[in-house]
Structures are given as structure tokens and as C-alpha cells.
């Protein structure tokens, strides 16, 4: 391996390290992120139990990944707003509320996707 390729790979590995640090920070510090993480584990276990189809796996994995990504973005927006101003400002509130609203919309969509995928499996148990 040449020096040039080593020099280019180090920043890439370092950026992955920063990204993983961000994910771990969100899991440690954010209650909602921990809720999504535990919910995801339950959904994955239920998915294995019911032996869902490949296309259902795609929807489940995109739903879980999207929820994590959106929750992390929401946290980042909240932190930046808090960094910029400690005082109440209507625009700061709007930024935080909009980010939280985006998470809520995606969470509701995730629940609907879960119902569409798992309800037939659950009904077949009876």
C-alpha cells in the first residue's frame, strides 16, 4: 500500500470514528433514541420470529434506519439551537418544534408500516 492511499484512508476512518461517536452519544444522552433502539430490537426479534419476506425486511430496515437518522438530526438541531441562544427566541422554538415534528411524522409512518407488515402474521396466530 502506498503512502498516498494510507493518507487518504486515515481521514475516512477518522470520519467513521466521529460518526460512531455521534451515534453512541445519542444512545447515551437521548431518552427517545434509547426508546427507538429498544423498539428496534423488539421489531427485529418479531421479524425473525415471523420469518418476514425479503421486501418486508427492506421496509423494516429502512424504517429503523430512517428513525435513527432522523432522531440524530433532531438532536443535532436542538444542540445547535441551544448553542446559538440560551434565551427564548420564537425562531429557536420553531426550529426545535419543526425537527421534533419531523420525528413524530416518521414515527407515525413507522407504526403504520409495522401494522401493515405484522398484522397479517399476528392474525394468522389465531
CATH (domain of 38): 1.10.287.3610
Residue 71 is among the residues annotated as catalytic for this protein: yes
The residue range of the domain holding 69 is 31-124
Secondary structure letter of residue 89 according to DSSP: -
Distance, in Å, from the CA atom of 117 to the CA atom of 97, rounded to the nearest integer, reads 30
- Is 16 inside any structural domain? no
Distance, in Å, from the CA atom of 98 to the CA atom of 107, rounded to the nearest integer, reads 14
| Per-residue model confidence (pLDDT) at position 25 | 95
Nearest-10 crossing angle of helices 90-124, 54-84: 160
Q: What would the pLDDT profile of 9-52 be if each residue is shown by its tens digit? A: 678 888 899 999 999 999 999 999 999 999 999 999 999 999 99
- Is 12 inside any structural domain? no
Distance, in Å, from the CA atom of 27 to the CA atom of 21, rounded to the nearest integer, reads 10
Q: Which of 56, 71, 78, 87 is catalytic?
A: 71
Task: Answer yes or no: are the C-beta atoms of 67 and 40 closer than 8 Å.
Answer: yes
| Per-residue model confidence (pLDDT) at position 22 | 95
Total domains in the fold of the chain: 1
- Is 8 inside any structural domain? no
Q: What would the pLDDT profile of 73-99 be if each residue is shown by its tens digit? A: 999 999 999 999 889 999 999 999 999
| Per-residue model confidence (pLDDT) at position 41 | 98
Amino acid at each position: 500500500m502506498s503512502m498516498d492511499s494510507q493518507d487518504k484512508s486515515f481521514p475516512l476512518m477518522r470520519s467513521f470514528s466521529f460518526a460512531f461517536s455521534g451515534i453512541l452519544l445519542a444512545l447515551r444522552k437521548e431518552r427517545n433514541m434509547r426508546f427507538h433502539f429498544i423498539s428496534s430490537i423488539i421489531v427485529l426479534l418479531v421479524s425473525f420470529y415471523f420469518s418476514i419476506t425479503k421486501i418486508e425486511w427492506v421496509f423494516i430496515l429502512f424504517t429503523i434506519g430512517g428513525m435513527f437518522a432522523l432522531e440524530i438530526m433532531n438532536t443535532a438541531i436542538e444542540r445547535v439551537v441551544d448553542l446559538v441562544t440560551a434565551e427564548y427566541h420564537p425562531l429557536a422554538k420553531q426550529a426545535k418544534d419543526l425537527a421534533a415534528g419531523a420525528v413524530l411524522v416518521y414515527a407515525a409512518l413507522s407504526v403504520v408500516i409495522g401494522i401493515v407488515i405484522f398484522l397479517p402474521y399476528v392474525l394468522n396466530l389465531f
